[in-house]
Amino acid sequence: MAEMATKARAFQDFLDAKEIKAFVSETIENDPEQTTVFRSHVEVDGQQLPLLVLLDRSIFSMIRVQVSPKCKTEENELAVLKLANDLNLKYKPFKLYFDGEGSLILDICMITPDEKAEEIGDMVYGMFNVMITFLNENYRTMMKTIW
């Protein structure tokens, strides 16, 4: 079994202490950064959106939400990219983009040094609250633009 990075272990300890069972974790074998992926979902407007928390040895931690899978088309690409750009300019912690499969992705990158590892759970859950508010305010507009 691969060894978890300090932040990943601290996040797992946070989840265990709070008895949060919403995540399944996987530490990537033979990864020099000791990346652990915590998988869950977030409910927005009645939809279950896949959510990942990516923790490793780097100074960065990532929260990733798949807003809409494989939704990019020739007809909607420009409008969705314009909306994503407008939202990226307006909301500092979020970056929206199409991945290689044409899915609309929301990333949140946080600076999380190991010396602050004991705070990782509170930091991630604080960003969840901000992210959920953002998605609840913008999800319908994003979906109208996509469809």
99-140 pLDDT, tens per residue?
Answer: 999 999 999 999 998 888 899 999 999 999 999 999 999 999
> What's the whole-model pTM score?
0.93
- Pick from 76, 51, 65, 60: nearest CA to 120: 60
CA 68, CA 8: separation in Å to the nearest integer?
27
pLDDT of residue 1: 63
- Pick from 49, 67, 53: nearest CA to 110: 53
Residue-wise pLDDT tens digits, 38-74: 999 999 999 999 999 999 999 999 999 999 999 999 9
Top CATH class of 6-146 equals alpha beta
Scanning the structure block, which residue is given the tokens 């939704």? 71
